[in-house]
Amino acid sequence: MTFRRFTSAGKLLEHVKEKLEVEEAKHSLPLGILANLIKTENPGDETQSGDAPFLAANDRGTMTLIQTPPWNLIAAGSPEDVPAAVEWLKDSGASFPGITGEKELVKAFIQELNPENASVFMRQRIYRLDEVNPLPRQKGTFGKAEHGDLDLVTDWVMQFSEQALTPTSKEEARELAEHSISENRLYLWKNEEGTPVSMAKKARETAHGASVNLVFTPDEYKRQGYATSCVAALSELLLSEGFHFCSLYTDLDNPVSNSIYTKIGYRPVADSVDYRFNA
């Protein structure tokens, strides 16, 4: 078995697409990342800068490795291919802050690398929704965030990042908020008084699905059904746009969010884990 690096996200996707799309929702993260990279790819540019994404796969397309600096290595494939992947990664001199992927796969990577130097950062669950369950919605309205909401969304992105244990600067939060609003991907649920009380984002797209992320409700509006209403409305919208399914990741140690998504109609397809290497 041989591995090789790719200089094009499009070429890597072409190589691994058939294998990953067998379980498209489970592999929505690597498929979605590749789809996003393709949008900004410059055809014919074969250069490799220091911040270029790390893109690799084995010859059979049964192991995919992706990293967009400075984030974790994303791994997707079979645990039986891990020893060969680790040997190739070591020979290539590649280094990463951590690994994210399906639980058993990542555990196999950690065992082959240095288990004493790694720890679990977050346990996650991947969900898929094919149909929104009929359930009561809170009174209010659902719609796209607008430029006038930028300051509010920036603050919410910062709070979301803190709760996700990945704090971000105000500048980075504002950039993400502005980009999400300008691309019509950020949605708000407003209560009867017209006050924004919850948000959710249409994120990565794959061949047949779209992911939902950046789900946030301020503390003063939690446990009132606003997040349920917002995510249900967005999921319904995405299905009406022609996507066959929606997917999302949750923090497995947050029973409230997992309960919310299950009520809406999301069902578990796999458990994922985020490991970080100790400094």
88, 113, 138 - which closes a domain: 113
80, 113, 146 - which closes a domain: 113
* Cα–Cα–Cα angle for 241, 132, 195, rounded to 5 degrees: 80
Same domain, 145 and 20: no
Q: Is residue 141 part of a domain?
A: yes
Give the CATH number, domain containing residue 154: 3.40.630.30
57, 84, 113 - which closes a domain: 113
Q: Is residue 120 part of a domain?
A: no
SS (H, E, C) 128-162: EECCCCCCCCCCCEEEECCHHHHHHHHHHHHHHHH
Q: Is the separation of the CB atoms in 35 and 53 below 8 Å?
A: no
- For residue 239, the enclosing domain spans 128-269
pTM value is 0.94
pLDDT of 166? 87
Same domain, 190 and 150: yes
pLDDT of 165? 78
Same domain, 264 and 156: yes
Same domain, 159 and 70: no
User: Helical H runs in the chain?
Assistant: 9-20, 28-40, 82-92, 103-112, 150-163, 170-182, 226-240, 255-264
Each residue's pLDDT expressed in tens, for the chain with a length of 279 residues: 899 999 999 999 999 999 999 999 999 999 999 999 999 887 655 545 557 999 999 999 999 999 999 999 999 999 999 999 999 999 999 999 999 999 999 999 999 998 899 999 999 999 999 999 999 999 999 999 999 999 999 999 999 999 887 889 999 999 999 999 999 999 999 999 999 999 999 999 999 999 999 999 999 999 999 999 999 999 999 999 999 999 999 999 999 999 999 999 999 999 999 999 987
Residue 243 has phi, psi (to 5 degrees) of -70, 140
Same domain, 261 and 177: yes
Same domain, 79 and 174: no
pLDDT of 1? 81
pLDDT of 114? 81
pLDDT of 41? 87
Same domain, 59 and 175: no
Same domain, 167 and 223: yes
Same domain, 152 and 264: yes
Same domain, 100 and 162: no
Q: Is residue 118 part of a domain?
A: no
Domain count, the chain: 2
Which token pair is 66?
A: 């992706």
